[in-house]
């Protein structure tokens, strides 16, 4: 791999002091980029956070490594020792991922309602629409092509990257980041059957997103029917997630892509939800629950822990055979029950 391009540069000793890490080796080594153990080159910092990559340590071309104390003695280059190497690496990598400088002002092509309020310290990009009674706070960045409907609030330091839609009554706290294509505040899926035809139930609530949350590309969060759909602080949603109306998600919970959460579900704090999980409506998941990928949650979870329901991949012949046996389970159970009664 070629050396990293010129840019910000930090001495290893500076990084150790800044992030409270133990330095081993030459603290004068200059770091101007990051990379993997196998891919990093001169001037770059690699990391070892997973033991399966330990075999790559001896041959790394990185100028320095961040790793745990257990691996430090085997490191052939200067290193930073951390209790959590991945967390330390993430903090250091952020030094090399600088945000574009804020450019306050409203682009001439933007359309802003007469009674909307845009702080002079906010940046509003081209072809943006800001609706009636909406407010954009200082330091917020509204990227190109975004649409803010009526009665929306974008808090200080928020970033709407591009083509984000806040339909109506969406309130973002401070430093919320929303990626392209996300839609917040669309109608919840509320229907009532009357004389053989569906009647639409008005969705009169809104969406509230807490400070420091992040919402991935093309994720959708419906507004509440009466009360709000709420994400507490530091909630992290991946791409292409569906959050139904009146859902509440507790602080510091993270949900991976292609998961769907049906209306009025309650998810606690510090939960981890894997990809392509289905969570049915009107149930509760307590704090500190992990749900593994492709699971289906159909009832409340009241005890912290890890839960699974998906079937891991098998070769097709075994899968078909097991499928045939699964269909025979009921008959087999009846036969066993009859034997027990005899």
Catalytic-role residue among 135, 179, 245, 252: 245
DSSP 3-state of 306: strand
CB 299 within 8 A of CB 317: no
Quick count: other Cβ atoms within 10 Å of Cβ 161? 19
In terms of Cα–Cα distance, which of 271, 248, 255 is closest to 219?
255
Q: Is 331 helix (H, G, I), strand (E, B) or coil?
A: helix
How far lies 94's CA from each of 15, 34, 97, 108, 114, in Å? Answer: 12, 10, 5, 32, 39
Supply the DSSP symbol for 337.
H
Cβ neighbours of residue 132 closer than 8 Å, sequence gap 6 or more:
113, 114, 115, 116, 150, 151
Give the DSSP per-residue string, 215-255: E-TT-EEEPPSSS-EEE-TT-EE-SS-EE-TT-EE-TT-EE
Q: In degrees rounded to 5, what are phi and psi of residue 66? A: -105, 130
Encoding tokens for residue 312? 């891991």
135 is catalytic: no
**Which residues are catalytic, by number?**
245
């Amino acid at each position: 791999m070629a050396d990293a391009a010129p840019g910000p540069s930090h001495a290893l000793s500076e990084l150790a002091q800044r992030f409270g890490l133990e330095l081993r080796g030459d603290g004068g080594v200059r770091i101007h980029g990051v990379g993997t153990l196998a891919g990093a080159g001169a001037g770059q910092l690699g990391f070892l956070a997973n033991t399966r990559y330990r075999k790559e340590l001896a041959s790394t071309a990185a100028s320095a490594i961040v790793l745990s104390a257990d691996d430090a003695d085997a490191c052939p280059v200067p290193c930073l020792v951390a209790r959590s190497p991945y967390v330390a690496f993430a903090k250091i990598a952020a030094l090399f991922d600088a945000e574009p400088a804020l450019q306050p002002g409203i682009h001439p092509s933007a359309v802003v309602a007469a009674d909307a309020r845009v702080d002079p310290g906010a940046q509003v990009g081209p072809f943006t629409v800001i609706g009636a009674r909406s407010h954009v706070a200082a330091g917020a960045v509204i990227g190109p092509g975004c649409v803010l409907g009526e009665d929306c609030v974008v808090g200080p330091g928020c970033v709407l990257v591009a083509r984000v839609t806040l339909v109506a009554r969406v309130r973002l706290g401070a430093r919320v980041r929303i990626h392209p294509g996300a839609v917040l505040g669309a109608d919840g899926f509320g229907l009532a059957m009357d004389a053989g035809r569906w009647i639409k139930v008005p969705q009169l609530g809104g969406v509230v997103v807490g400070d420091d949350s992040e919402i991935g590309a093309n994720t959708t969060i419906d507004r509440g029917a009466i009360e709000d759909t709420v994400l507490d602080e530091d909630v992290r949603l991946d791409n292409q997630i569906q959050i139904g109306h009146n859902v509440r998600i507790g602080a510091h919970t993270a949900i991976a892509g292609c998961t769907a959460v049906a209306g009025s579900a309650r998810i606690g704090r510090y939960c981890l939800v894997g990809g392509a999980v289905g969570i049915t409506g009107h149930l509760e998941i307590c704090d500190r629950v992990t749900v593994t990928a492709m699971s289906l949650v159909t009832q409340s979870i009241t005890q912290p822990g890890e839960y699974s329901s998906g079937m891991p991949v098998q070769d097709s012949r075994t899968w078909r055979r097991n499928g045939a046996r699964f269909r025979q389970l009921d008959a087999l159970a009846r036969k066993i029950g009859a034997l027990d009664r005899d």
